[in-house]
Amino acid sequence: MRDWSGGTAMTYCVGLYLEDGLVMLADTRTNAGVDNIATFSKMHVFEKPGERVIVAMTAGNLAISQAVVNMITEGVEDPETGHIETIYTVPSMFRAAQLVGDTIRKIYKTDGEAMQAQNVRFDVSIILGGQLKGRTMRLFHIYSAGNFIQATADTPFLQIGENKYGKPILDRAATHQTALTDGIKLCLVSMDSTLRSNLTVGLPVDLLVYKKDSFQVAMQRRIGEDDPYFKMIRQRWSSALRKAYRAIPAPDWGV
Query: What pLDDT does residue 3 have?
Result: 42
Mean pLDDT of 20-46: 84
- Domain coordinates of the chain in residue numbers? 8-245
Region 197-221: mean pLDDT is 95
User: With pLDDT > 70 as the criterion, what percentage of the chain qualifies?
Assistant: 93
Residue range 109-165, pLDDT digits in tens: 999 999 999 999 999 999 999 999 999 999 999 999 999 999 999 999 999 999 999
The hierarchical CATH code for the domain 8-245 is 3.60.20.10
pLDDT grade for 34, boundaries at 50, 70 and 90: low
How much is the mean pLDDT over the chain?
93
* DSSP per-residue codes, the chain: -----S-EE--EEEEEEETTEEEEEEE-EEESSTT-EEE---EEEEEETTTEEEEEEEEEEHHHHHHHHHHHHH-EE-TTT--EE-TTT-SSHHHHHHHHHHHHHHHHHHHHHHHHHTT----EEEEEEEEETTS--EEEEE-TTS-EEE--SSS-EEEEES-TTTHHHHHHH--TT--HHHHHHHHHHHHHHHHHH-TTS-S-EEEEEEETT--SEEEEEEE-TT-HHHHHHHHHHHHHHHHHHHHSPPP-S--
| pLDDT computed for residue 151 by the predictor | 98
What value does the mean pLDDT take over residues 37-53? 93
